[in-house]
Chain A
Amino acid sequence: MGVALCLLCGSCKSTLKAYERIYVNDQEMQMAAKSAKAFQNYVYSIREGSSRAEGGKGNGGCGCN
């Protein structure tokens, strides 16, 4: 999958210099979960039978109706 993504993205690099990181360092490019999405992800976890990776269950509670 990594090779396929490299082909899709054009090239893969083993390292980036500081001045080449202006785009990947952008706040919107970060992989960390956005706090503004936290509640919506919670809705998915209680209204669907599945869980997602990147965090698992939150603060407990059954969230039942």
Chain B
Amino acid sequence: MKKRYILAGALAFYLSWMKGQPEEENAFNVNESEIELVYNQYVQDGDNSAVTGGIGTERLTVYGPSFRFNRKFGSNEISFQLGSDVISSASTDNIDSKISSASRLDTRTYTEISYGKALDDNRLFVKGGLSTSIESDYFSFGKFLGVTAESENKMSTYSASLQIFNDDLRWGRLEGGLFRAPEFLIYPQELRGIDWHEEYKRDTYNLNLGLTRILNEKNTVGAFALVSLQKGLLSTPFHRVFLENGSIVVEQLPDTRLKGAITLRWNNFAWGNIIIRNSINNYLDDFGIYGISLENETAIKLDARWTFIPNFRYYHQQASKYFAPYRQSDPDNEFYTSDYDLSNFNSYSLGLRIGHIPLNKKSGDLRSFTLSYNFYGRSNNLASHTLSLNITVQRDYNRRR
């Protein structure tokens, strides 16, 4: 009997000693790497190409592989991404009259590197990074800095980030040798010889704010806001506009644009294996564009390995005050565009994502793969298909000791 009391007392003392260990010893014990391989295939077609003044084919195919490496060690996180979009575009071939092939090839290569640090017992996370993007007629250099804070009761998170993009729209970097000095803005062939735009740079400043809140065991909500200011050349130099009087000009848009957007989200763990995610996004800018989107994703967990996620999105857009269809732009206006991306339309998107998490030991470091398909249709006759494959490989170095 006495031995039982001594044993119980020793056990109780040991357990209370374990509970008293400071949590900081376990907070930064992460030591893992993650690699994500992605391939996207995008095919679209339509009848309102901005290159040919709002008429003509918008047929385009994008082959888009990318690679992302993420390394977490202690309270630090480093991320690197490299990707390339090979674009085959029928309408881009109509910039000049030399239609040498069915469509013209262009390549957009992009990269991003970032560093993040967890502070204050993992409740504060600061992240900063740089990005670049280059194609034959566009170069972009981006910087961003962001912070995310978690409340003491771990029920709320607050985030803020600033992104700055400094872009150059001149053509020539990838012609005749890599990283050649850019030369000039590229206009439609018949409109060359005139300096339609003096400015060739475009700067974008994005301020993103976010708030998430866990309401109860099965419901989380979020509110996000964006304020964006763009300055510089906001027109696309090789977009044609056919005016009412029959003349052809280059697209003209103001040199500043102020945008605002608010997104509200609600995630609900509805039943034992179904999670419903809803969001609504409102947008307004001083080009006169108003947009509202409603989106739903329903994650259906068939079992621990397979998840099916059907998704649906509806979007309504009110046109920019500068937009007019082919041959309807007033020559007395200072600004005009026939880019149907800025027109009145409704769009809907239907998709399915299938996610798989291999749980057997034979899969090694393979963490997950996702296959997704999405159809996008616009009321002004543009339609597209997207097929994506994501493979994630993860290695936890702590488990391998």
Hey, which bits of chain A sit against chain B, CB under 8 A? 1-2, 5-6, 9-16, 20-24, 26, 28-31, 35-37, 39-40, 43-44, 46-57, 59-65
Taking CB atoms, residues of chain A closer than 8 Å to B291 are: 48-50
Contact call B281/A24, Cβ cutoff below 8 A? no
A37 to B374, CA, bound (A): 10
Contact call A43/B216, Cβ cutoff below 8 A? no
What is the minimal beta-carbon distance from B49 to any residue of chain A, in angstroms? 6
Please name the residue on chain B nearest to A60 by beta carbon.
Answer: B140
Contacting B388 at CB < 8 Å: which of A6, A30, A39, A44?
Answer: A39
Hey, which bits of chain B sit against chain A, CB under 8 A? 36, 38, 40, 42, 44, 49-51, 58, 60, 64, 68, 83, 85, 89, 91-92, 108, 110-112, 131-133, 135, 138-142, 153-155, 163, 165, 167, 169, 204, 206, 208-210, 212-222, 224-226, 228, 236, 238-239, 259, 261-269, 275, 277, 281, 283, 285, 287, 289, 291, 293, 299, 301, 307, 309, 313, 315, 317, 320, 341-342, 347, 349, 351, 353, 355, 370, 372, 374, 376, 378, 382, 384, 386, 388, 390
Contact call B388/A47, Cβ cutoff below 8 A? no
Give the number of A-B contacts (CB < 8 Å).
Answer: 205
Taking CB atoms, residues of chain A closer than 8 Å to B347 are: 48
Contact call A24/B269, Cβ cutoff below 8 A? yes
Label chain A's interface by main secondary structure.
loop
What is the minimal beta-carbon distance from B337 to any residue of chain A, in angstroms? 10
Please name the residue on chain A nearest to B83 by beta carbon.
Answer: A59
Contact call A52/B281, Cβ cutoff below 8 A? yes
Contact call A60/B275, Cβ cutoff below 8 A? no
